[in-house]
Amino acid sequence: MTHPWPIAITGLGCICAAGTNLDDCMETLYSGRRAPAAPTRFTSSHPTRYPVFEVSGFNEPPELLRTSALGLHAVRDALADAGLDLETLRGLRVGVCVGTTVGSAMNNEQFCRDYRAGLDPDLEPIERIMRSNPAAVIAREFGLTGPCQTVVNACASGTDAVGLAASWIRGGVCDVAIAGGADELGRITYNGFISLMITDDSPCKPFDRNRKGLNLGEGAAMLVLESEETRTKRRSRARSYLLGYGSACDAHHLTAPKPDGEGLRYAIAEAFSCCGISAEAVSFVNAHGTGTPDNDRVESLVLADLLPGVPFLSTKGYTGHTLGAAGAIEAVFTIACLERGMIPGSAGFSTPDPDLGGTPVEGSTKVEGMVALSESLAFGGNNSVILLGTRGAA
Amino acid sequence: MMRIAVKGIGVTGGFGCGVADLAAALKGGISRVSEITVPSAQGPLQMPAFRAETERLDEFVPKRALRRIDHYSKMGLLGAYLALADGGMLGSDLSRLGVVVASGYGATATTFAFLDSIIGDGDICASPTHFANSVHNSAAANISIMLGAKGPSLTVSQFDMSVPSALVSASQWLAEGRVDAVLFGAIDEVSDLIGYLQHRQRGPQRACPISPLSTGEESSIIGEGAAFLLLTRKDDSLAYCTIETVDTGSLYQEELSFPDDALLLLGADGRRELGARYRATVPGHSRVACYTSIYGSMPAAAAFDLAAAALILQNGRVYPIPGAAGCDMDGIPVPLETTRICALKLAGINEYAAVTLSRLQLP
Amino acid sequence: MDIKNKLKKILVEDLNLEELTPEQIDDNAPLFGEGLGLDSLDAVELVVLVQKHFGIEIKDMEEGRTAFQSVNALAAYIEGRLAQ
């Protein structure tokens, strides 16, 4: 049993450096504001201070990882948006599919330091990780009975989680799926990305000739996906539609994208094939656009080839690269932009790069049409693409 | 759910390497427990552990190609190659193959090696190679790169429920026709961290077999390894068995029910509290089996259970429960034959998964 | 041990070039592509190794590209930086 595409999206929630809810985020994006700064929540002995996009004014409870707490925050907004209260949820089979990079990793620096120093460290940091699996935390908090999946496809996790949740709905695995991504900033990823020499020591400049790399960010976004039977039964409105999902692996290199973007091309083609949508129908592309020399080159060349003339932007100039959350945050932004018929300028871009396939939009730009594409490229050569549409697109 | 065929099995673990070694260990009820030494505040700790070897990778990959690949990914690679070879797909066109990897804890040794690089020499000496290999999807990436598999790739980390959770998505890929086959596997690794946590959380280790179903006793022994299954949509060709249903989620008031004719293959692994939950969940009249004492306690053990179930269903004969004395569940006899198995995985206070597998109906 | 020999030992041991001995590495052979066959991930690892073993920070890959031509080039780069 496989239900046809598209899949209705009935709720959205988002928290990142641009704002603690979706409306605030969009206001920040359209105003062009961004304020990456040196990390305040942790220190580093690195001689250069690399700016990051922290979520300010958000404190996680001591028993949970910040990642999972950010995820819960976004879920609450998404459920409220979908009009799903605890009682309604209890009568449905609800699955949870969440992308992350650090949310399920047995990675606690202080524990490791103490252990290596010959101490018997307190187990609480490890126990906190064990009780903070991002998908399981959400299921537990809301008493959900369906499958739980924490997707760890590196920087494509958020996009994949949304696409996989759609396939669960299509297969009748659950009535409703909460899907998205969550990740927190920390010393491990901070030092890791600096060591790969793909981190910019100034605010990131996606698709710009002088781009030097990414800035890290943190946050979470969640989408509520719903089967048509459930929607009919509870008379909920579709805020948007997921019109397609595609993913493919470059099978090329652990950390570098394939120069010809082969995997990305396959992923885009697969996403288009789901609803039989053509490139002409796409009004804009929310690109991965990390600001690293390699990513932006490959991505822009593929876009120039497959979606020539379609406006594109990266919102990472406003949020930083939120890793496992990025695909979900960008999916939510994409829907909000479609609803408003307007995309923000691609922050950080000023100088065109002749080696790229094109230039992103500068300043808020009106867009027409009902369909947009959001894409993620990740470590390991994972490429994931989703097509999103307005209510009228289905 | 659409039915899925298990076409190939690739395993490495404490019992040895390859499907023949697993079958022999299941038949004989014995496995090889090694001893590892883990640093601790009290000095080096000796503890039992099931270790997996990866020497046989040489049959498939030039050594040079492995220079940057850690033990965790090597186990996965070996499992992947063995499953493809067993399923007769090695060297075939893999453009319509998906790769799905489930891991409870990921590459914990490399994760710690990355932290060591910072702790030892400061933030400026953070190792990019360790960082890249500590990312959870490194094994799936290495498998795709080595095989040239350009289909979808997914890595799931849901602690003890990683395997059944990942199987939900793998099944949908096949049902949707996104892929024609899925290389589905699980990997977990024994490392200083896993050994040390076992000691801290479970106490001193006794050198006696895992007694998964005995009451009140802690008898878990950590394990490592990789178990891969080559899955396709059910067709007329030969296979080990079919996977009929995959059901996973959390229980609140509901009770689980199981097909009457199914042997329940329990994922109990000697952890005391888990054993108690199995005893409370499994109905009194059930027919049960449990083989974790062949491969050890680890989240990936759920994939070894699926491999064991596939072997049982292939020949219809149920293997005896190893160390049956410790496994006696209120004197329930283990049947000699079965045509249906329900692999039951429980975790935490209310998480569950039931995967039903059936013997192939021969024409 | 002179810088060149130390570098060769580092290359073999820390980049796991197991099938080579330090003596087998040609002073002028390119480290990347043909030659030793290193790649972009080795390049950033080499930056860290130079920091760790010689206390020299290579700030970006523009700088690295020249230094990483060969063992000879890297040794000359390190000597130059140490003399500063």
pLDDT per residue over B211-229, tens digit each?
887 767 899 999 999 999 9
Task: Give Rg (Cα) of chain B.
Answer: 20
Question: CA-to-CA distance for B24 and B96, rounded, in angstroms?
Answer: 33
Question: A114 burial class (0-12, 13-18, 19+ CB within 10 angstroms)?
Answer: middle
Chain B residues close to A270, C-beta within 8 Å: 178
Surface of A (166-195) touching B: CB under 8 A = 167-168, 170-171, 173, 187-188, 191-195
CA distance A45 to chain B (A): 6
Neighbours of B231 (CB within 10 A): 29
List of residues 6+ apart from C63 with CB closer than 8 A: none
Question: CA-to-CA distance for A252 and A258, rounded, in angstroms?
Answer: 6
Per the CB < 8 A criterion, the answer to whether A391 and A231 are in contact is no
Question: CA-to-CA distance for B361 and A44, rounded, in angstroms?
Answer: 62
- The number of distinct structural domains making up chain A is 1
Q: What share of chain C in percent tops pLDDT 70?
A: 100
Nearest-by-Cβ selection for A147 from B114, B141, B249: B249
CA distance B189 to chain C (A): 21
Question: CA-to-CA distance for A345 and A353, rounded, in angstroms?
Answer: 17
**CB environment A363-384: b (16+ within 10 A), e (fewer):** eebebebbbbbbbbbbbbbbbb
Q: Which amino acid is at B214?
A: S
Assigned domain for A68 exists: yes
DSSP string covering A67-82: HHHHHHHHHHHHHHHH
E-assigned strand segments in A235-370: 240-249, 282-286, 312-313, 342-343, 365-366
Neighbours of B191 (CB within 10 A): 24
Q: Is the pTM of this model over 0.90?
A: yes
The upper half-sphere exposure of residue A207, i.e. CA atoms within 13 Å in the direction of its Cβ, equals 29
| Residue in chain A lying closest to C61 (CA) | A197
Cβ distance C60 to A197 less than 8 Å, yes or no, reads yes
Under 8 Å CB pairs connecting chains B and C tally to 31
E-assigned strand segments in chain B: 4-13, 16-17, 34-38, 45-50, 97-102, 153-156, 181-188, 222-223, 225-233, 241-250, 263-266, 287-289, 340-347, 351-358
Cβ distance B127 to C48 less than 8 Å, yes or no, reads yes
Q: Where is average pLDDT lowest: A361-365, B14-18, C15-19, C77-81?
A: C15-19
Cβ distance A197 to C47 less than 8 Å, yes or no, reads yes
| Residue in chain C lying closest to A200 (CA) | C60
Cβ distance A255 to C40 less than 8 Å, yes or no, reads yes
Question: CA-to-CA distance for A283 and A121, rounded, in angstroms?
Answer: 54
| Residue in chain C lying closest to B120 (CA) | C52
Nearest-by-Cβ selection for B152 from A195, A247, A253: A247
Assigned domain for A163 exists: yes
List of residues 6+ apart from B182 with CB closer than 8 A: B97, B98, B99, B100, B170, B173, B174, B230, B231, B232
Question: C69 burial class (0-12, 13-18, 19+ CB within 10 angstroms)?
Answer: middle
Q: Does the pLDDT at position B18 exceed 60? A: yes
Three-class DSSP labels, B243-288: EEEEEEEECCCCCCCCCCCCEEEECCCCCHHHHHHHHHHCCCCCEE
CA distance B129 to chain C (A): 6
Question: CA-to-CA distance for A278 and B261, rounded, in angstroms?
Answer: 50
Cβ distance B137 to A262 less than 8 Å, yes or no, reads no
pLDDT of residue B275: 92
**Between A335 and B328, residue with greater pLDDT:** A335
Cα-based distances in Å from A281 to A237, A272, A284, A285, B3: 23, 10, 9, 11, 36
**Residue written as tokens 């990019």?**
B128
Query: What domains are defined for chain B?
Result: 4-358 (3.40.47.10)
pLDDT of residue B328: 47
ipTM strictly over 0.85? yes
Q: Does the pLDDT at position B230 exceed 90? A: yes
Assigned domain for A2 exists: no
Arithmetic mean of pLDDT over chain B: 93
Q: In this structure, what DSSP letter does residue A291 have?
A: S
Cβ distance A251 to B144 less than 8 Å, yes or no, reads yes
Whether the link from the prior residue into A6 is cis, omega within 30° of 0, is: yes
Per-residue pLDDT averaged across B159-188, rounded? 98
Cβ distance B67 to C52 less than 8 Å, yes or no, reads no
Per-residue pLDDT averaged across B248-277, rounded? 93
Cβ distance B126 to C48 less than 8 Å, yes or no, reads yes
Token code pair at residue B90: 């090695």
Chain B residues close to A115, C-beta within 8 Å: 39, 192-193, 196
- Best of B63, B64, B116, B130 to substitute, by most chain C Cβ atoms within 10 angstroms, is B64
- Best of A109, A198, A249, A255 to substitute, by most chain B Cβ atoms within 10 angstroms, is A249
CATH of the domain at A119: 3.40.47.10
Question: CA-to-CA distance for B57 and B304, rounded, in angstroms?
Answer: 19
Token code pair at residue C21: 């001995």
Task: Point out the residues of A that are catalytic.
Answer: 155, 288, 321
pLDDT of residue A149: 98
pLDDT band at B326; cut points 50, 70, 90: very low
Chain C residues close to A47, C-beta within 8 Å: 57
Is it true that domain C3-83 has CATH number 1.10.1200.10?
Answer: yes
**CB environment B272-290: b (16+ within 10 A), e (fewer):** eebbebbeebbeeebbbbb
Question: CA-to-CA distance for A385 and A246, rounded, in angstroms?
Answer: 5
Q: Per residue in B60-81, pLDDT tens?
A: 999 989 999 999 999 999 999 9
Per-residue pLDDT averaged across B260-276, rounded? 93
**Helix (H), strand (E) at residue B125:** none
Q: What share of chain B in percent tops pLDDT 90?
A: 84
Please check whether residue A151 touches B, CB under 8 A: yes
Rounded (10°) angle between helices B19-28 and B301-315: 80
**Between A2 and C14, residue with greater pLDDT:** C14
β-bridge partners, A214:
A199
Per the CB < 8 A criterion, the answer to whether A56 and A36 are in contact is no
Q: Per residue in B130-147, pLDDT tens?
A: 999 999 999 999 999 999
Instruction: Report the neighbours of C using a cutoff of 3 or more CB pairs below 8 angstroms.
Output: A, B
pLDDT of residue B324: 58
CA distance B310 to chain A (A): 23
Question: CA-to-CA distance for A166 and A245, rounded, in angstroms?
Answer: 8
Nearest-by-Cβ selection for A149 from B40, B156, B250: B156
Q: Does the pLDDT at position B311 exceed 80? A: yes
Domain region containing A91: 7-393
Chain C residues close to B127, C-beta within 8 Å: 45, 48
Q: In this structure, what DSSP letter does residue A182 have?
A: E
**Residue written as tokens 């999916």?**
A331
CA distance B11 to chain A (A): 23
Under 8 Å CB pairs connecting chains A and C tally to 19
A321: helix, strand or coil: strand
For chain C, the first-to-last Cα distance in angstroms comes to 21
Domain edges within chain C: 3-83
Token code pair at residue A8: 């209705």
Q: Which amino acid is at A99?
A: G
Per the CB < 8 A criterion, the answer to whether A175 and A232 are in contact is no
Residues of chain A with pLDDT under 70: 1
